[in-house]
């Protein structure tokens, strides 16, 4: 009976897939934990830096408009740093990002004048396929080996581009990690720095007689790059964490689905097998009766 043989093969292949998805789930879990720990550990630092920038800029008041990074660029183009994943099989992680991006671009007057810096192969593929201008696809170092130094290099690159005056603003598209089952794509303004993007006012303003050592400009000059790099770093970490959370979830679903399927196939297989035995028995009994 062909049906039975086919069923046996299918049960086996479903079992193989289940093994793979389960292994991937496990890998994603470990990586998820690692990135999550890092993301959480870096949070106080980035909050502190952001707070410092916000307090300093609110303290300087109108003087911040002298700082080049606080004013919109002269150009009309927009630069976007897009953080997606290198690999697939992570559920709707990338799809959500793309959807959010398309929506955002649709509402912008200069959508056609947008250049992209991309982390993650999936994003680069998507954007190139749709004819967007991918100015730089950052592959070195691989996303998973990011640290503060490489985030700083990316930040430097963005600032350099912004300072050419070609761009009016720079945005950051990434995925924010809220919990194991909640992660949302988000689009944030990156440059120019504005009191709103710095979240000024959440902290009580510092008194104007704060001593600055050595002086405001020097502090700002080294603080602002640090702040930008921290933002990129945490955006990367949160995106990676979300990616792995999403992948783990997708793989868990796949494993569960495989288990269900295996069960179903097995019961069909057993029924068929029994049917076959019963038929054979009937044949024998029938044959024996005929001989008598």
Sign of CA dihedral 256, 99, 139, 174: negative
For other proteins, which is the closer residue by CB, 145 or 213?
Answer: 213
Residues 284, 285, 290, 292, CA torsion sign: positive
DSSP letter, residue 134: E
Assess contact for 71 and 224: CB atoms under 8 A: no
Of positions 10, 148, 266, 273, contacts other proteins by CB under 8 A: 148
Residue 48 in contact with other proteins, rule: CB under 8 A: yes
Residue window 56-85: x/- pattern of binding to other proteins, with contact defined by CB under 8 A: x-----------------------------
Residue 200 DSSP one-character state: T
Please report how close the Cβ of residue 180 comes to other proteins at its closest, in angstroms.
22
Question: 156-193: b or e for each residue (b if 16 or more CB lie within 10 Å)?
Answer: ebbbebbeeeebbbbbbbbbbbeeeeebebebeebbbb
Binds other proteins by CB under 8 A, chosen from 28, 49, 83, 97: 49
* Residue range at the interface with other proteins (CB under 8 A); choices 9-17, 160-168, 214-222, 264-272: 214-222
**Residues 203 and 55: beta-carbon distance below 8 Å:** yes
Query: 183 or 220: whose CB is closer to other proteins?
Result: 220
209 binds other proteins per the rule CB under 8 A: yes
Per CB under 8 A, the list member of 2, 5, 44, 292 interacting with other proteins is 44
Considering the rule CB under 8 A, would residue 131 count as an interface residue with other proteins?
A: no
Q: State how far the Cα of 206 lies from the Cα of 204, in Å rounded to an integer.
A: 6
Binding site for other proteins (CB under 8 A): 41-42, 44-46, 48-49, 52, 55-56, 148, 206-207, 209-214, 218-219, 222-223, 226, 230, 233
């Amino acid at each position: 009976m062909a049906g039975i043989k086919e069923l046996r093969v299918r049960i086996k292949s479903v079992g193989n897939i289940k093994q793979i998805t389960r292994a991937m789930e496990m890998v994603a879990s470990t990586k998820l934990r690692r990135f999550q720990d890092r993301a959480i550990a870096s949070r106080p630092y980035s909050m502190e830096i952001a707070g410092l920038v916000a307090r300093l800029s609110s303290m300087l008041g109108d003087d911040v408009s002298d700082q080049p990074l606080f004013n919109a660029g002269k150009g009309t183009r927009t630069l976007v740093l897009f953080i997606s994943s290198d690999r697939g099989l992570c559920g709707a992680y990338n799809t959500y990002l793309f959807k959010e991006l398309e929506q955002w671009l649709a509402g912008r007057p200069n959508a056609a004048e947008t250049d992209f810096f991309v982390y993650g192969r999936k994003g680069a593929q998507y954007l190139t396929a749709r004819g967007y201008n991918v100015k730089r696809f950052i592959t070195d170092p691989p996303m998973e080996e990011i640290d503060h130094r490489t985030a700083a290099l990316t930040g430097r690159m963005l600032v350099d581009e912004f300072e050419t005056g070609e761009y009016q603003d720079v945005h950051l598209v990434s995925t924010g990690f809220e919990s194991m089952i909640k992660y949302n794509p988000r689009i944030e303004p990156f440059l120019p720095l504005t009191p709103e993007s710095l979240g000024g006012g959440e902290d009580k303003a510092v008194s104007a007689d704060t001593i600055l050592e050595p002086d405001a400009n020097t502090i700002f000059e080294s603080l602002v790059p640090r702040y930008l790099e921290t933002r990129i770093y945490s955006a990367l970490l949160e995106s990676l964490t979300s990616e792995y959370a999403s992948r783990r979830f997708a793989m868990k679903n796949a494993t569960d689905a495989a288990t269900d399927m295996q069960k179903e196939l097995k019961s069909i297989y057993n029924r068929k097998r029994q049917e076959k035995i019963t038929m054979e028995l009937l044949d024998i009994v029938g044959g024996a009766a005929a001989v008598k």
